[in-house]
């Protein structure tokens, strides 16, 4: 049986489905370096395409939300089909639960206390936890990176977005593709293609 959970965008980037945006971004950088054709030749082009597709979905909050909803729906359908499929042992009579109307036996207090404790633990953890370390610039440009522009050499250099920068990367395209209107075109520092950047207002 082909389990979709083994071939999701999360497994392609080797991250947990609950990973933060920074963790996904760092995972994409690692996967893109590992699958880059400069390291493995044309044999890695299919892997690189899968990595780029995973980033295009998981790197966009709206697309990631839709994708997570699709995964959840697929999981529910898979469980439903497994329950109703031929694997059910039909020799055992089905047990039908009949509501008695007596809700007083349900442990409401227990679940209420456990819920309050869980929320308290999460809040304390978020207050005491260390802030995630920002991704350090490595000149491996992706959408959203901040860059400085060397006008004399027509080159880009990635910098932290908290520091002074000239522009922000809108997209990284293959050679021969055209940048969107309003952006400027520069060669990607890693030689992967063309970086389309949007100048930061002075």
**The domain boundary residue, chosen from 82, 109, 128:** 82
Q: Is the pLDDT of residue 2 over 50?
A: no
pLDDT band per the 50, 70, 90 thresholds, residue 1: very low
Q: How far apart are CA 105 and CA 84, in angstroms?
A: 31
The per-residue pLDDT for range 153-171, each reduced to its tens digit, is: 888 989 988 889 999 999 8
Q: Would you state the pLDDT for residue 27? A: 92
Q: Residue 40 domain-assigned?
A: yes
State the residue range of the domain holding 50: 4-82
Q: Residue 124 domain-assigned?
A: no
Q: Residue 162 domain-assigned?
A: yes
**The domain boundary residue, chosen from 33, 62, 82:** 82
Nearest to 31 by CA among 16, 49, 8, 4: 49
Q: Would you state the pLDDT for residue 139? A: 74
Q: Residue 183 domain-assigned?
A: yes
**CATH number reported for the structural domain that contains residue 46 in this entry:** 1.10.287.110
Q: Is the pLDDT of residue 202 over 60?
A: yes
**The domain boundary residue, chosen from 64, 82, 100:** 82
The per-residue pLDDT for range 9-45, each reduced to its tens digit, is: 999 999 999 999 999 999 999 988 888 777 766 667 7
Q: Residue 169 domain-assigned?
A: yes
Q: Residue 155 domain-assigned?
A: yes
Q: Report CA-CA distances (Å) from 17 to 83, 93, 132, 163.
A: 25, 38, 17, 31
Q: Residue 89 domain-assigned?
A: no
Q: How far apart are CA 61 and CA 117, in angstroms?
A: 30
Q: Residue 105 domain-assigned?
A: no
Domain count, the chain: 2
User: In whole numbers, what is the pLDDT of the chain averaged over residues?
Assistant: 80
């Amino acid at each position: 049986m082909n389990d979709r959970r083994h071939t999701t965008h999360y497994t392609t980037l080797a991250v947990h489905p609950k990973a933060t945006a920074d963790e996904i971004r760092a995972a994409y950088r690692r996967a893109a370096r590992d699958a880059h054709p400069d390291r493995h030749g044309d044999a890695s082009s299919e892997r690189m395409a899968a990595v780029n597709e995973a980033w295009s979905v998981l790197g966009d909050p709206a697309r990631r939300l839709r994708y997570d909803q699709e995964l959840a729906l697929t999981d529910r359908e898979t469980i439903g089909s497994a329950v109703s499929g031929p694997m059910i042992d039909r020799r055992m009579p089905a047990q039908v639960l009949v509501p008695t109307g007596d809700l007083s036996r349900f442990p409401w207090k227990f679940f209420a206390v456990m819920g309050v404790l869980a929320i308290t633990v999460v809040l304390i953890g978020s207050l005491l936890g260390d802030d995630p370390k920002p991704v350090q610039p490595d000149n491996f440009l992706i959408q959203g990176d901040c860059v400085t522009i060397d006008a004399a050499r027509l080159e880009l250099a990635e910098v932290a977005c908290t520091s002074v920068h000239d522009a922000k990367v809108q997209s990284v395209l293959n050679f021969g593709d055209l940048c969107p209107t309003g952006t400027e075109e520069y060669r990607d520092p890693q030689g992967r293609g063309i970086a389309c950047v949007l100048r930061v207002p002075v």
